[in-house]
Amino acid sequence: MFTRRHLLRTAAAGSVMTASAALLPAWARSANAGNTGIFESRGTAFDLTIGHSAVNIAGHTGHAITLNGTLPGPLIRFREGEKVTLKVNNTLDEDTSIHWHGLLVPFHMDGVPGISFPGIKPKSSFTYEFAVPQSGTYWYHSHSGLQEQQGHYAPLIIDPADADPVQADREYVLVLSDWSFEHPHKVYARLKKDAAVYNFQQRTVGDFVRDARDNGLGPTLSDRASWGAMRMSPTDISDVTAAAYTYLINGHATEDNWTAIFNSGERIRLRIINASAMTIFNFRIPGLPMTVVAADGLHVQPVETDEFQIGVAETYDVLVTPTRARAFALVAESMERSGQVVATLAPETGLVATAPLLREPPVLTHRDMGMDMSSMDHGSMAGMDHGSMAGMDHGSMTISDPVAQTHDHRMGVGVDNVAMVRVSRIDEPGLGLESVPHRALSYSQLRSLVSNPDTRAPGREMEIHLTGNMERYMWSFDGVKLSEITSPIIFHEGERLRVTLVNDTMMTHPIHLHGMFFDLVVDNTDHKPRKHTVIVKPAERLSFDVTADHVGDWAFHCHLLFHMHAGMMQVVSVLPRGASDIADTGHTADAPAPAQPSEERAQPYVQVDKQHEGHRR
Amino acid sequence: MNRTHYLAAFLVLSLGMAGYAKAQDAPIPGSQAEAYWDKDAFKASQDALKEEHGGGSTLFLLADRFEYQTNEGLPALFLGGQGWWGTDENRLWIKSEIDYDLDAGRFEDAEIQTLWSRPIARYFDVQAGLRHDFKPGPSRTYAVLGVQGLAPYWFEVDGAVFLSEKGDLSGRLEAEYEFRLTQRLILQPRAELNLAAQDVPELETGAGISTAEAGLRLRYEIDRQFAPYVGVNWKTSAGETADYIRARGDDTESLSFVTGIRLWF
């Protein structure tokens, strides 16, 4: 079996292992524990046991829920198109599950209790079986309770059926994660009682004095007044920070100095997975440019950069070619910059890369609040009435125009803000990276390596708002928590839709749609980057086109675990052809017919979904 | 009934049955997985899914002011706290203030409120329930209706009206603010105003503003949940309430130094 093979290899390597390294699967080990970056061990049958384990994190013992006893769990690697069997044995006394993040599995194998299956009961086992038509870097994790925060996550690699267009001399998997010694239920409860409980970067009286000295008393007072009037904080960036978290690369904290080795001039593929519960990272290797070759598992046209923001659940594959025999730092800094984790990329073991200092924490602006009227070009608002939308070609929509609009989603107590001005921020690299003195990746730089499989114009547009109330720690879509929904979001088999996400909150949300890749609308290209998870920045308006080709019910949620736990989740029901007239209650008269192939449609059109008609501009 | 009627009835019935059958066959959005698994087990997991994604309950207990006071040299212990249990939508909310005179060895004030709290606005809850005062004077029970929340510019406010079993109406307004001197050192001014609609001699309360209180507390959050503090607290009585107090020979004003801890769970 796969695990045993790992153990044998390690034993053969005869390396000196620390107690914690001994508990790790080969792929996650440091170079000094035998990981030289070549670990192709594919299988088609896997046994996974979920149980309680004591884990060593930065020298302290914590309690984890693990896969096969390690944090992170074992790497699952198989070949595209192969049928795999994954037997999961639950030794816990609570339900568990495994969701194959980004994999196009049949929906009843997707692993979300209450949506795709009933879950895996205590002391029982469950066998997943599927073959998927895709390759790349993915991961898998629990979709039950808050187990994901407790260590129930691991990488998954699918090798292409044909030759991989990305060739490298070595490859390493970097699983980024956040570990808390506090039980996640306690962390969540604390947020519920005091949403700023982990924020130790709040503005103080001292900051006020300094700003008044630098900018004048009047402007400083007016700035404080505008934030105060909204009861919002410009430092509210990450709900959980280094005050609770130890950040990890492959289960190693900075002090463990996880090391990857290389020979000078070698091309190294790094498969970077953000398996955090709540932490969006900025990833960089100071002094070493990275060429991004895949995003969320799928190949993109190579683009060179120096830093990128990686949302929870996103994956990036990058190539690096260090030509100097020195130690490089692999740095994952949390977005709010309260902490980071640093590992080493070096020509030999025993070196410790110099960890950079944490950079100045970013601060939100009125633009993030959706209040920045200065960016409004009133001219661009002309013709925004709904009537003029009819017959409008998507290609002619300028996505970068700021859009002011009325909102009409539920304005309950769970919605503390509605961004008045929503802008496209797809060409921005993300909070805190706007002004770094080097290149930083933005989504608008990504282009799929191959052309998009479905290039039809969307036949229907749907707008979904990301909503929340920070003080109450309530999170939702369109003001409705999953616990309150009365009907899911309906897609019809075969149709091509445009989904526009509007972030009414001041937080950055990584939004994940199960079961289908969506094409990010970066411009009018047929090489749109295809993703399963997308970061939506504060007050951002972002669109993706998606083809509803996998019938079933799919989870759709914010991948910040506690936002999802608070209710920021919905179900997308892809209904089979012919089912729409009965099941799609509420839209019976106007239910759009399954989309026709594009050549049959003379004129692309926009039809505002009746269910979301309040969102029309 | 002629044949046309029968035919019409038959048609309506069969169309209805066909429609019903079709509705049974059609996939139910959000429940399509039911076809693959045991129906009851799947239904149970659907319920758990909702409960775990926005439907959960939380328990919160806060001892906002748990302090030793020296009231013009006379020592007293004071506890002012509140707590709640429930969901985003419905909470059982408890508030209590207890004042124990260490010198005299007796409770000067002891009240507890049991309220049902519901959010009515983004930052405000409406609260209704009962308040029972064990002290001072003869015990009293009140019906309570109040509003608590976060006002613009970060003022924590709480206002309530009380209607006693004797039909006496009174009210209370409280406001707090926090100056963040550092990430952990916090200066908290606090003000409280008690009002009455009529004289209540048994409780030594006069109509109008009865008492006012202002405090300033400087706390250090060793942990967000545990913060020792020092401060001052000033209390005064006004109008006829002051007359009652003067009549028994006590001061209508007092300034106390306080030292205590603020803690929550």
- The tokens describing B87, both together, are 């969901």
Q: Name the pLDDT band for B15 (thresholds 50, 70, 90).
A: low
Q: pLDDT grade, residue A462 (50/70/90)?
A: very high
- pLDDT in the model for residue A402: 52
Q: Residue A410 has what pLDDT? A: 75
Q: Is the peptide bond before A347 cis (omega within 30 degrees of 0)?
A: no
Whether residue A399 has pLDDT greater than 60: no
Q: Using pLDDT thresholds of 50, 70 and 90, give the confidence band for residue A580.
A: low
Where does the pLDDT of residue A374 fall: very low under 50, low under 70, confident under 90, or very high at 90 and above?
Answer: low
With left for phi above 0 and alpha for psi between -120 and 50, is residue A296 left, alpha or beta? left
Q: Do A118 and B30 touch (CB under 8 A)?
A: no
Mean per-residue pLDDT, A142-161 = 97
Task: Determine contact, residues A529/A480, Cβ cutoff 8 Å.
Answer: no
| Residue A483 pLDDT grade (very low, low, confident, very high; cuts 50, 70, 90) | very high
The residues near A36 (Cβ < 8 Å, ≥ 6 apart) are A170, A261
Question: Nearest 5 degrees, angle CA A124-CA A127-CA A128?
Answer: 140
How far is it, in rounded angstroms, from Cα A390 to Cα B74?
78
Put simply, the answer to whether A201 touches B32 (Cβ < 8 Å) is no
Residue A507 has pLDDT above 70, yes or no: yes
Measure the CA–CA gap between A351 and A257, rounded to whole angstroms. 9
Q: What is the nearest CA distance from A194 to chain B, expressed in angstroms?
A: 9
pLDDT(B198) > 90: yes
Rounded to 5 degrees, what angle do the CA atoms B140, B142, B145 make?
Answer: 160
Instruction: Give the one of A115, A483, A582 whose C-beta lies nearest to B22's C-beta.
Output: A582
Retrieve residue A170's tokens: 């070595």
Q: What distance in Å separates the CA atoms of residue A45 and residue A76, rounded to the nearest whole number? A: 10
pLDDT at A403: 54
DSSP string, A152-189: -EEEEEEE-SS--S---SEEEEEEEEEEESS-HHHHHH
Nearest Cα neighbor of A240 from A193, A167, A290, A190 is A190
Nearest CA to A233 out of A354, A102, A368 is that of A368
Residue A434 to residue A296: CA distance in whole angstroms = 23
Q: If pLDDT is split at 50, 70 and 90, which confidence band does A264 have?
A: very high
Chain A positions in Cβ-Cβ contact with residue B178 (cut-off 8 Å): none
Quickly count: other Cβ atoms within 10 Å of residue A382's Cβ. 9
CA A529 to CA A300: how far, in whole Å? 7
CA distance B180 to chain A (A): 5
> What is the tens place of the pLDDT at every residue in A268-295?
999 999 999 999 999 999 999 999 999 9
The beta-carbon neighbor of B181 closest among A189, A204, A573 is A204
User: Is B121 within 8 Å of A115 when comparing Cβ atoms?
Assistant: no
Q: For residue B21, what pLDDT band results from cuts at 50, 70 and 90?
A: very low
| For range A583-599, the mean pLDDT | 38
Structure confidence at residue A68 (pLDDT):
96
Range A421-438 average pLDDT: 92
CB-based contact A236:A470 (threshold 8 Å):
yes
Residue spans of beta strands (DSSP E) within A403-540: 403-404, 421-422, 460-469, 474-477, 489-492, 496-503, 509-513, 518-520, 530-531, 533-536
Q: What is the pLDDT of residue A367?
A: 82
Q: Do B28 and A583 touch (CB under 8 A)?
A: yes
Using CA coordinates, name the residue in chain A closest to B58.
A189
Q: Please tell me the distance in Å from B116's CA to the nearest CA on chain A.
A: 17
The answer to whether A55 and A61 are in contact (CB under 8 A) is yes
pLDDT at A393: 38
Q: What is the pLDDT of residue A36?
A: 87
Among residues B169, B161, B88, B154, the alpha carbon closest in space to that of B125 is found at: B88
The 3 state secondary structure assigned to A14-45 is CCCCCHHHHCCCHHHCCHHHCCCCCCCCCCCE
Mean pLDDT of A585-597: 37
For residue A20, the model assigns a pLDDT of 47
Distance between CA atoms of residues A27 and B254, nearest Å: 70
User: What is the C-alpha separation between B5 and A10, in angstroms, rounded?
Assistant: 85
Task: Report the alpha-carbon distance of residue A521 to residue A448 in Å, rounded.
Answer: 12
CB contacts of B179 in chain A (<8 Å) are 205
pLDDT tens column, B50-104: 999 999 999 999 999 999 999 877 899 999 999 999 999 999 999 999 999 999 9
Token pair recorded at residue A7: 């153990």
What tokens does A69 get? 């006893």
**Can you tell me the distance from the alpha carbon of B52 to that of B46, in angstroms, rounded to the nearest whole number?**
10
- Which residue from A193, A607, A586, A617 is spatially nearest to A405, judged by alpha carbons? A617
Nearest by CB: B224 against A194, A482, A485: A194
Helices and strands (H, E) in chain A, number of each type: 8, 32
Task: Report CA torsion sign: A563, A100, A139, A289.
Answer: negative
Question: pLDDT, tens digit, for every residue of A175-213?
Answer: 999 999 999 999 999 999 999 999 999 999 999 999 999
Please give the backbone phi and psi of residue B33, each rounded to the nearest 5 degrees, phi first: -70, -15
Contacts of A422 (CB under 8 A, 6+ apart): A370, A402, A403, A404, A405, A502, A503, A539, A540, A541
- Find the mean pLDDT for residues B27-42: 90
CB pairs under 8 A between A and B: 159
pLDDT digits (tens, 9 = 90+) for A94-138: 999 999 999 999 999 999 999 999 999 999 999 999 999 999 999
Two structure tokens written together for B63: 């001892």
A16 or B250: which leads in pLDDT:
B250
Q: Phi/psi of residue B44, each to 5°?
A: -60, -40
Edge-to-edge strands of the sheet including A489-492?
A489-492, A569-575, A552-558, A509-513, A533-536
Q: Do B47 and A114 touch (CB under 8 A)?
A: yes
Distances (CA, A) of A97 to A48, A91, A120, A355: 11, 12, 6, 37
- DSSP 8-state symbol, A613: G
| DSSP state letter for A218 | H
Partner-chain contact A115 B23, CB within 8 Å: no
Distance from CA of A521 to the nearest CA of B (A): 27
Give the residue ranges of DSSP H helices in A126-278: 184-193, 205-215, 217-230
Residues B42-70 as b/e (b if ≥16 CB within 10 A, e otherwise) read bebbbebbbebbbbbebebebbbbbbebe
Q: How far apart are CA A448 and CA A445, in angstroms?
A: 10
Q: What is the pLDDT of residue B6?
A: 62
